[in-house]
Structure 1
Amino acid sequence: MLTVPQKGLLRIQPGVPGTFDQPVDGTTLYRYWGAHLVTGGVRFAVWAPNAREVSVVSDSNGWTAGRDWLHSSDTGVWHGTLQNLTPGTRYKYAVRTHSGHLLEKADPVGFYFERRPQTASVVWSLRDFAWRDGDWLQRRATTDWMRTPLSIYEVHLGSWRRPKDGRQFFNYRELAHALADYVTELGHTHVQLLPITEHPFDGSWGYQTTGYFAPTSRFGAPQDFQYFVDHLHRRGIGVLLDWVPGHFPTDGHALSCFDGTCLYEHADPRRGFHPDWNTLIFNYGRREVSEFLISSARFWCDVYHIDGIRVDAVASMLYLDYSRDSGQWVPNQHGGRENLEAIEFLPRMNTVLHAAFPGVLTIAEESTSWPGVSHPVQAGGLGFTMKWDMGWMNDTLHFLRREPIHRGWHLQDAAFRTVYAFAENFVLPLSHDEVVHGKRSLASQMPGDQWQQLAGLRLLLAAQYATPGKKLQFMGAELGQWTEWNHDGELDWSLRVFPGHEGVRRLLQDLNRLYRGLPALHRADHDSCGFQ
């Protein structure tokens, strides 16, 4: 646990789970690190243990390094209170390295950022939103999600709908009403947002995170996102957040070489660089780094009432040789390929979240046969609530892409899941990854003419709902889209005028109604007795 000064902590308004006046521990770093409004100014704190000096550059001092100094502590945290700064002030940290170079860095625990392509952090208060979702939070805390319907609509907010008035994006508040109406009509229980943590590049879909404590400013201010979550809760819809602790981008204004050293990442590229995504890998063995990440996960549940996180690319965290050839990775202390530090980090993260927020879900995107991903920590598992069944997704799509006359010879693709179906608490995903990079839309992957393709899509959805496990569809499947998902566009809403496409959407409505109303389809999803 980090030991940090107690002075300057904030009390957040009643009604928000957790308060800023509790003692700081290593999993609530956001209560101390970052920029916090205090009487007469702003208190700053940033971890940069290898810096020679740190100052704040901002709108208030003409972006001049060396005017507004921060003081160091024996924990490596630089801190200080600057007077007369107000909400909306843009700022960065000017970090002088031991070699004398001056780096300008955005706040790792910044709560709000300029709209891209600008990269400064913004002083902001998170205290003035009046939450009204108390009933939802009370129900969530006592819900057994293993025995409850869970039907997830996966959404990329920027390309679900786009304004026709010249704006690039709708605001979180506008999206809240439109999305709540639509998801209620479809019958889903939750939405899952592709990462809305701040990111500089639209084409990363949010998976190149630079702001682990900030909702992207593309769609509005922090209070707008609080409104989004609050409104969906009051409409009876849960909100899950795609969260990326497996890697982070090399952008110079962010975490990379933050104080002139490899602070958040490993120095050895065989451990600290990800070849698939051209990104850096967190050093989970460094206590401050693991606590930074756990604090981020906790922050979203605490300050924004998020109902759970889907943890991206867990397999890349667990294996040191993930996507690497011989000689490109370093074995662990026992000579194995398991990342022992990540194996320690993930159960701790799950333990903290489940203890602090009863009813919150943690879902792993884990593509291998790693044992016990969704088993309790005390039983030797990683502690996730559930795990995506990538095998079901790949096998089912591989089977249904075949011409019907050939399927009888490949029934092993449809039947193999029975070998492992109840080894984990599975979510059956038809996710965004299956409709990009040349894979085509789900409807277009089906064989035959257009009528047959839409029939094949209906068969896919019906098979999903008749298979044990929780459900997830990426936006657009319900429309029977012909084209791949395009993050720069929007869904092809014009298809709803065609009976065949509207029939797919009506089927999904009926499947959700049946799934939620028939206990046999959800009460024992993760037990072979329930399937029987």
Structure 2
Amino acid sequence: MRQEIIKQFHEGHCLDAHKVYGAHLEKEKDQTGVRFSVYAPEAQRILVSGSFNNWEGIDLHRDHDGSWSIFIPGVTEWSLYKYKIQKKDGFWIEKSDPYAFACEVRPKVGNLVVDLSGFNWNDKTWISKRRKHFNEPMNIYELHLGSWMKRDGLFWMNYEELVHHLIPYIKDMGYTHIELMPLIEHPFDGSWGYQAHGYFSLTSRYGTPKQFMHLINQCHINNIGVILDFVPVHFVKDDFGLRYFDGSALYEYQNEKDANSQWDTQNFDLWKEEVRSFLMSSASFWMETYHIDGLRVDAVSNLIYWHGNKQNGSNDGAVAFIRRLNYYLNVRYPGVTMIAEDSSDFPKVTHPTTDMGLGFDYKWDMGWMNDTLKYYALDPIYRQFHHHQLTFSMAYFYSENFILPLSHDEVVHGKGTIINKMWGSYEQKFSQVRNLYLYMMTHPGKKLNFMGNELAQFKEFDESTELDWFLLGFDAHNKFHRYIRDLNHVYFYHTALSNQDYAHPGFKWIDADNASQSIYSYQREDEHSTVVVVLNMTPNAFEHFRLGVPHAGLYTEIMNTEKDIYNGNNMCNYFPLNSEDYPSHGYPQSINIRIAPFAGIMFEYRR
């Protein structure tokens, strides 16, 4: 098997490189120990030194293909080790193992021998039923594990502790998935994991691999999917890492211009077959070893185009890598979900690779996010002149399978938080942010929200401090938190809001052109029910508003952003409304409704 994996590794079609390279506890000739293996074709000599040999160093043996290996008896789990590599010029460098399964907690950079086998998984039922949720609710809670909630408000919780806090919270709030910002080992907390070096190493900040397995296992038992952020674009420049690993540009581009990224990191050379195999194996490793349900691939536009700029042309080697990655992962793990964080207009991102697509299942709708947040920042007086900003998304929506993201990127670097982006006074901000979320949850597409958004937090994301949980002691924030929870549950249980997200019959405008009043209305459909949505984007109230409806019958208000339990003015439609033979908005039937200032309303018609 070893030789077959190495052959595939050099051909760029390998998902199992970590089963050959790295530090593996083995038994050879009746002796237990560890086999150390590393790929470094330009190295002249490689030593492995560690806690098991007083850091003296033992020579690895070179194979003809540039792989190096040695079995050392007596080495046990949790032993520390590093590689010392002699370059062609005779100088020595000290390196971390690219395939290590664990590292010391930063700022230390030593590797740890870890046994990843033997965990008692109880998620067989979940795995067997795992699916991509195209015609089901998908409501993702994005979080940074180190700063979601801290022990005593100060210290990182470990993976096992998070089981007792995170899982009950996710269930109560009605999210279907969590998306974890990168847990690949990384040296700098402030990179949030997006500038990494250990692509097979779970960060040791929050505990051990077995503790993380316990967290994932419990998520699955509680019907919570787990998506992990994955960064195949670039890696850190730190001397101990992948850069000039064997004295040559092994993982990065030879050309410095192509190698250097806009983040002061090194770009992976995705034309190299061994680099492709390294990253595909990493992606597969997280799915196989930790039962991860999907990957959100970071900065896809920087893969598609040289330095992320369309004017520089497409990076055909990276595009080929993306297609290969998605194809192989879909074959091996047919139920997992691949998500592209892509701000480009590159076509067919979520089309199958057999159709010359990139093969992702979903793509973040950055256009929807930008247009929406710009619109809600406008003074309502001027919104009538920008009415198209909330209708334009449906003009292109069916070109891809979109996720609507309000992610960590929108609450950092001086951009302000979601509630802070809203126009108006303190009270008006709350009214409008409730309106925004009702719009988001009723618009076609799956949903993603970053932690803290549900608290209406005014402070931007800071990885060094936990969320402002104390805000729940304030009435406005507590009621908003309840609103988000209720809205999530309405989304989950009303199938018309998700069953036909990517099919034209699932959405229809009732009135997309009422710019003068800044009122939007539309319907969501499936075979069971119809949900009619009305959004008022001004501080004007309407005591009698005639709304055309698609079916004759009874319409029940199932959500109103202005209920008093959500800190609204309680101008609601308290009783079910019978449609009348009064034509409106192109329909022969209509209902007469009340609309509060800045209200978002959902009515349900059941067949």
TM-score normalised by length of structure 1? 0.91
Q: What is the aligned partner in structure 2 of residue 294 from structure 1?
A: 280
Please state how far the C-alpha of 1:504 moved relative to its aligned partner. Answer: 1.8
Greater Cα radius of gyration, structure 1 or 2: 2
Deviations 1:389-427 (A, max 9, x none): 000001000000111222111112112112211100000
Please state how far the C-alpha of 1:64 moved relative to its aligned partner. Answer: 2.3
1:380 alignment partner AA: M
1:27 alignment partner AA: L
Alignment map for 1:506-525 (pairs within 5 Å): 506-525=482-501
Does structure 1 residue 217 correspond to structure 2 residue 204?
Answer: yes
Please state how far the C-alpha of 1:42 moved relative to its aligned partner. Answer: 0.1
* Matched position secondary structure for 1:98: coil
Q: What is the aligned partner in structure 1 of residue 78 from structure 2?
A: 88
Q: Is the 8 A contact 1:2 1:26 kept in 2?
A: no
Deviations 1:326-380 (A, max 9, x none): 9xx6xxxxxxx11000110001100111111121000000101100000011011
1:440 alignment partner AA: G
Please state how far the C-alpha of 1:510 moved relative to its aligned partner. Answer: 1.9
Q: Is the 8 A contact 1:3 1:75 kept in 2?
A: no
- Distance, in Å, in 2 between the alignment partners of 1:36 and 1:305 is 20
Alignment map for 1:318-357 (pairs within 5 Å): 318-322=304-308, 337-357=313-333
Q: 1:256 aligns with which of 243, 251, 254?
A: 243
C-alpha distance 104-321 of structure 1, shift in aligned 2 (>3 A): closer
Alignment map for 1:119-134 (pairs within 5 Å): 119-134=109-124
Does structure 1 residue 503 correspond to structure 2 residue 489?
Answer: no
Q: Is the 8 A contact 1:427 1:472 kept in 2?
A: yes
Q: What is the aligned partner in structure 1 of residue 56 from structure 2?
A: 64
Deviations 1:273-328 (A, max 9, x none): 11x2001111111111000000000000000000000000000011015259x9xx
Q: What is the aligned partner in structure 2 of residue 55 from structure 1?
A: 47
- Distance, in Å, in 1 between the alignment partners of 2:36 and 2:13 is 17
Q: What is the aligned partner in structure 2 of residue 388 from structure 1?
A: 364
Alignment map for 1:283-432 (pairs within 5 Å): 283-322=269-308, 337-432=313-408
- Distance, in Å, in 2 between the alignment partners of 1:387 and 1:283 is 24
Q: What is the aligned partner in structure 1 of residue 423 from structure 2?
A: 447
Q: What is the aligned partner in structure 1 of residue 413 from structure 2?
A: 437
Most deviating of 451-460 and 305-314: 451-460
Please state how far the C-alpha of 1:4 moved relative to its aligned partner. Answer: 5.7
Q: State the superposition RMSD in angstroms.
A: 1.7
Deviations 1:465-486 (A, max 9, x none): 1110000000001101111111
Q: 1:104 aligns with which of 81, 94, 98?
A: 94
* Matched position secondary structure for 1:146: coil
- Distance, in Å, in 2 between the alignment partners of 1:386 and 1:509 is 24
Q: What is the aligned partner in structure 1 of residue 530 from structure 2?
A: none
Deviations 1:445-498 (A, max 9, x none): 112111111112111111101110000000001101111111111111011122
- Distance, in Å, in 1 between the alignment partners of 2:347 and 2:100 is 36
Q: What is the aligned partner in structure 2 of residue 13 from structure 1?
A: none
Please state how far the C-alpha of 1:144 moved relative to its aligned partner. Answer: 4.7
Please state how far the C-alpha of 1:102 moved relative to its aligned partner. Answer: 0.7
Identity of aligned residues (%): 42
- 1 or 2, which has the higher strand percentage? 2
TM-score normalised by length of structure 2? 0.80
C-alpha distance 5-525 of structure 1, shift in aligned 2 (>3 A): closer
Deviations 1:211-257 (A, max 9, x none): 11111000001111111101111111000000100111101111000
Most deviating of 190-199 and 515-524: 515-524
* Matched position secondary structure for 2:321: helix
- Distance, in Å, in 1 between the alignment partners of 2:438 and 2:197 is 39
Q: 2:447 aligns with which of 454, 468, 471?
A: 471
Alignment map for 1:481-492 (pairs within 5 Å): 481-492=457-468
Q: Is the 8 A contact 1:314 1:364 kept in 2?
A: yes
Q: Is the 8 A contact 1:4 1:75 kept in 2?
A: no
Give the number of aligned pairs: 499
* Matched position secondary structure for 1:46: strand
Q: Is the 8 A contact 1:51 1:97 kept in 2?
A: yes
Q: Is the 8 A contact 1:2 1:75 kept in 2?
A: no
C-alpha distance 388-5 of structure 1, shift in aligned 2 (>3 A): closer
Alignment map for 1:229-248 (pairs within 5 Å): 229-248=216-235
2:47 alignment partner AA: S
- Distance, in Å, in 2 between the alignment partners of 1:459 and 1:318 is 35
Q: What is the aligned partner in structure 1 of residue 134 from structure 2?
A: 146
More relative contact order, 1 or 2 (CA 8 Å, 6+ apart): 1
Task: Give unpaired runs (5+ residues) of structure 2.
Answer: 7-11, 509-607
- Distance, in Å, in 1 between the alignment partners of 2:357 and 2:5 is 35
Please state how far the C-alpha of 1:503 moved relative to its aligned partner. Answer: 2.0
* Matched position secondary structure for 1:61: coil
* Matched position secondary structure for 2:485: helix
Task: Give unpaired runs (5+ residues) of structure 1.
Answer: 7-23, 330-336
Does structure 1 residue 460 correspond to structure 2 residue 436?
Answer: yes
* Matched position secondary structure for 1:56: strand
2:298 alignment partner AA: D
C-alpha distance 25-409 of structure 1, shift in aligned 2 (>3 A): closer
Q: Is the 8 A contact 1:432 1:474 kept in 2?
A: yes
Does structure 1 residue 183 correspond to structure 2 residue 170?
Answer: yes
- Distance, in Å, in 1 between the alignment partners of 2:507 and 2:272 is 44
C-alpha distance 418-130 of structure 1, shift in aligned 2 (>3 A): same
Q: Is the 8 A contact 2:236 2:265 kept in 1?
A: yes
Q: 1:77 aligns with which of 57, 63, 67?
A: 67
Q: Is the 8 A contact 2:350 2:401 kept in 1?
A: yes
* Matched position secondary structure for 2:386: helix
